[in-house]
């Protein structure tokens, strides 16, 4: 961590506009010297962490600060004599990281670990000492952060470091919270680094850490990191954006007046709400300027409305849309459908009478806390009543009885997002660092998540996937490497190809071949979006080069139905002496709704009204004839059966048909393609009402996954 430390004052003086509004950035150099030189009374916290204590008490009024004092004393004494590259005492770094987390509302255990996060890596302090003094939970987190930082893999350092970081984060999201705060402070103090090193660190921050901050919901860290990266990687565009913001500062801002109008409207409606003007950060202004061109005064900020209850959010929305002109395309409801990173809010926009358009965010105060701090605001996900009592006891340890010896032991984290669980699954099978790195970046680029339901009733009942995922992704998410044998899927009850994209709320039934030698085809990679699917498919294709060629067999030839019906069966046309034929393309049977058309030779062909040929006949101007069914019940129909290839399948299907008392007029079996076999049967039924039961009986034959009308 110390390798990225430089001068914080140089950064703050060069970029004063990046300071957080409402709180002056602390002079950490002065605090660090005070920590080294000033005496500390045993009955109060050292002056150097007084600001940390103040910020912590603002979120946790009843917090026991004695453990923070002990952690600070150990950190200061162990880092004494160590200096950052800027020449300031090293203790300023863990102090700054801890203050960032305290302002976000992190609980005491996280702050304690943050103060100590460099001690095991950079000093003589051991994990056993941390465990003995502060308990297993703090030890667990410190060890997780240490394992992220102390590994050096040469050219593969970044990929392997982030692989370890993911594992540590999966075991405890507080490890990632500390890592993000650590990177933010290092980005704030990056000024004296060589330009090439600044660019390298900024690119890694942009590609991995900012998306991770977004996915963990820590917007306060994400937005500042975005601005710092923007200033380093795009200095010209940054300066242009800064000039736009500076020019706007000298003009009249319409948003305060609009905010006051909103306050009046809500006050008259009896809704207790806090209406704030929320300035956009640099990257947001840059994006808006690229999207809209010339910016207006209201484009430099948004209105933030905070209320007490969820119902009040919708009450505010109703008043805004009633009293102002809403911009319908800007409305989004993230309360009813939260984002994958826990984010909840209502987004809308309205136009004022003088032509300004104000964007509005409506949320409860609790939603606001989570939107700003994400998983940091959720506290200790592993806390129990016993652990809380132990932490509160004088001299007690902060944490539960988690073993520190193995910080990567799997623990159940109720706050772990689904995307993080997926990353933990596939990172184990990534064949090399380069593959891991490229796939990780592709996964983090996904900004939307969907949920699909399993039709087989298995557990878990739902599968979380990134937006744009296909049935292939669902197969590997559900079955792992067994999905190599997947040959098809039903989506919402309808048979579809594996390459079909899924939508939020779809019900998916995946069809697996029983042949263990079956495998994916190379074109699956074009439709696989999740890392798990892509890595598994690539590994199989690499291990089975001959099998890959075999699975890319040409598409099956169009089915030729044998025994197409030439007679009219039970159909009667309202045309005397006309020959009636039932169309082989749709095989109508009683009581299907049908339509008849006169074709060459004066014959009448009967189709189901849903048949595509009906529209074609009408477009060609063919004469339509009314058709009805006779009272007799027997009929003839052609059915298609899709199945996995296996011995005796044809005999079993024929036996099932015979048990229903149905006569087989003709049958055709196509050659297997990718372990799938298609059968066609032309059948004579004694009673048309028995057709649904017949189709169910055929579907019940082992290996058959679909039966449909021709």
Q: Which residues are catalytic?
A: 121-122
Strands 507-512 and 449-454: parallel
Neighbours of 75 (CB within 10 A): 27
SS3 for 375?
helix
Residue with tokens 């850490």: 209
CA dihedral 177, 181, 187, 191 (to 10 degrees): -160
Distance CA 42, CA 622 (A): 101
HSE-CB for 534 with a 13 A CA cutoff:
19
- Read off the tokens for 56: 């912590």
* Longest pairwise C-alpha distance within the chain: 115
Distance CA 361, CA 94 (A): 34
Which residues on adjacent β-strands are paired with residue 663? 684
- What would you report as the CA-atom Rg of the chain, rounded to the nearest whole angstrom? 34
Distance CA 641, CA 700 (A): 11
HSE-CB for 662 with a 13 A CA cutoff:
30
Distances (CA, A) of 186 to 24, 26, 130, 602: 18, 15, 25, 86
The whole-angstrom distance between residue 360's C-alpha and the CA centroid of its chain comes to 25
Which residues on adjacent β-strands are paired with residue 302? 278
Distances (CA, A) of 173 to 167, 374, 679: 10, 11, 53
**Contact 469/501 with Cβ under 8 angstroms?**
yes
Nearest to 169 by CA among 394, 501, 415: 415
Phi, psi of 359 (to 5 degrees): -85, 140
* DSSP 8-class letter at 490: E
SS3 for 581?
strand
How wide is the angle at C-alpha 632 spanned by C-alphas 626 and 636, nearest 5°?
80
Distance CA 399, CA 113 (A): 11
SS3 for 538?
helix
Which residues on adjacent β-strands are paired with residue 486? 512
Helix (H) or strand (E) holding 347: strand 346-351
Beta strands in 613-661 (DSSP E): 624-625, 627-629, 635-644
Distance CA 183, CA 314 (A): 38
Residues in Cβ contact with 187 at an 8 Å cutoff, skipping those fewer than 6 apart: 201, 202, 205, 225, 228, 229
Distance CA 596, CA 706 (A): 29
């Amino acid at each position: 961590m110390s390798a990225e430390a430089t001068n914080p004052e140089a950064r703050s003086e060069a970029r004063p506009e990046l300071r957080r509004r409402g709180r002056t950035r602390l002079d950490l150099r002065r605090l660090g010297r005070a920590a080294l030189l000033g005496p500390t009374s045993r009955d109060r916290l050292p002056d150097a962490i007084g600001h940390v204590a103040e910020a912590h008490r603002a979120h946790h009024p009843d917090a026991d600060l004695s453990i923070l004092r002990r952690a600070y004393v150990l950190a200061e004494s162990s880092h004494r004599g160590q200096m950052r590259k800027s020449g300031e005492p090293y203790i300023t770094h863990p102090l700054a990281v801890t203050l960032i987390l305290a302002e976000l509302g992190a609980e005491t255990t996280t702050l304690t670990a943050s103060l100590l996060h460099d001690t095991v890596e950079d000093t003589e302090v051991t994990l056993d000492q941390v465990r003995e003094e502060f308990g297993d939970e703090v030890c667990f987190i410190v060890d997780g952060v240490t394992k992220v930082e102390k590994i050096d893999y040469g050219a593969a350092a970044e990929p392997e470091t982030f692989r370890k970081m993911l594992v540590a984060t999966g075991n405890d999201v507080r490890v990632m919270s500390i890592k993000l705060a650590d990177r933010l402070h290092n980005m704030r103090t990056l000024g004296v680094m060589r330009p090439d090193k600044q660019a390298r660190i900024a690119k890694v921050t942009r590609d991995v850490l900012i998306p991770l901050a977004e996915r963990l919901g820590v917007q306060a860290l994400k937005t500042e990191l975005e601005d710092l990266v923007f200033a380093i990687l795009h200095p010209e565009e940054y300066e242009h954006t800064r000039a736009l913001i500076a020019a706007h500062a000298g003009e009249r801002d319409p948003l305060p007046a609009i905010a006051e109008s909103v306050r009046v409207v809500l006050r008259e409606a009896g809704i207790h709400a806090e209406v704030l003007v929320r300035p956009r950060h640099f990257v947001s202004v840059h994006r808006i300027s690229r999207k809209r061109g010339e910016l207006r005064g209201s484009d430099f900020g948004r209105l933030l409305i905070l209320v007490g209850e969820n119902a009040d959010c919708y009450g505010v929305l109703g008043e805004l849309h009633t009293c102002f002109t809403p911009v319908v395309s800007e409305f989004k409801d993230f309360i009813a459908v939260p984002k994958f990173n826990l984010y909840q809010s209502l987004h809308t926009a309205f136009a004022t009478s003088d032509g300004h358009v104000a964007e509005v965010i409506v949320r409860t105060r609790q939603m606001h806390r989570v939107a700003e701090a994400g998983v940091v605001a959720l506290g200790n996900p592993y806390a129990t009543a016993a652990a809380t009592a132990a932490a509160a006891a004088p001299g007690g340890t902060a944490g539960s009885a988690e073993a520190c010896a193995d910080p990567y032991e799997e623990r159940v984290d109720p706050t772990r997002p689904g995307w993080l669980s997926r990353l933990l699954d596939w990172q184990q099978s990534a064949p090399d660092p380069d593959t891991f790195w490229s796939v990780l970046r592709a996964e983090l680029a996904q900004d939307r998540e969907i949920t699909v339901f399993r039709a087989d009733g298995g557990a878990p009942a739902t599968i979380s996937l990134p937006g744009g995922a296909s049935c292939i992704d669902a197969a590997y998410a559900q079955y792992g490497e067994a999905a190599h044998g997947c040959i098809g899927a039903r989506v919402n009850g309808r048979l579809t190809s594996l390459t079909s994209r899924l939508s939020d709320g779809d019900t998916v039934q995946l069809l697996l071949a029983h042949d263990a030698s079956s495998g994916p085809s190379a074109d699956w990679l074009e439709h696989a979006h999740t890392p798990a699917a892509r890595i598994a498919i690539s590994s199989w294709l690499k291990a089975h080069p001959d099998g890959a060629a075999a699975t890319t067999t040409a598409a099956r030839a169009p089915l030729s139905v044998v025994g197409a019906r030439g007679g009219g069966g039970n159909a009667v046309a309202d045309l005397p002496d006309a020959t009636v034929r039932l169309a082989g393309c749709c095989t109508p049977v009683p009581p299907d709704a049908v339509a008849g058309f006169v074709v060459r030779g004066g014959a009448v062909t009967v189709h189901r009204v849903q048949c595509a040929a009906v529209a074609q006949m009408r477009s060609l101007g063919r004469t339509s004839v009314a058709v009805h069914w006779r009272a007799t019940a027997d009929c003839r129909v052609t059915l298609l059966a899709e199945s996995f290839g296996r011995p005796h399948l044809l005999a079993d299907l024929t036996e099932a048909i015979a048990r229903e008392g149905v006569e087989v007029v003709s049958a055709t079996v196509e050659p297997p393609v990718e372990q799938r076999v298609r059968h066609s049967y032309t059948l004579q039924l004694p009673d048309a009402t028995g057709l649904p039961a017949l189709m169910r009986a055929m579907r019940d034959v082992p290996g058959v996954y679909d039966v449909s009308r021709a």
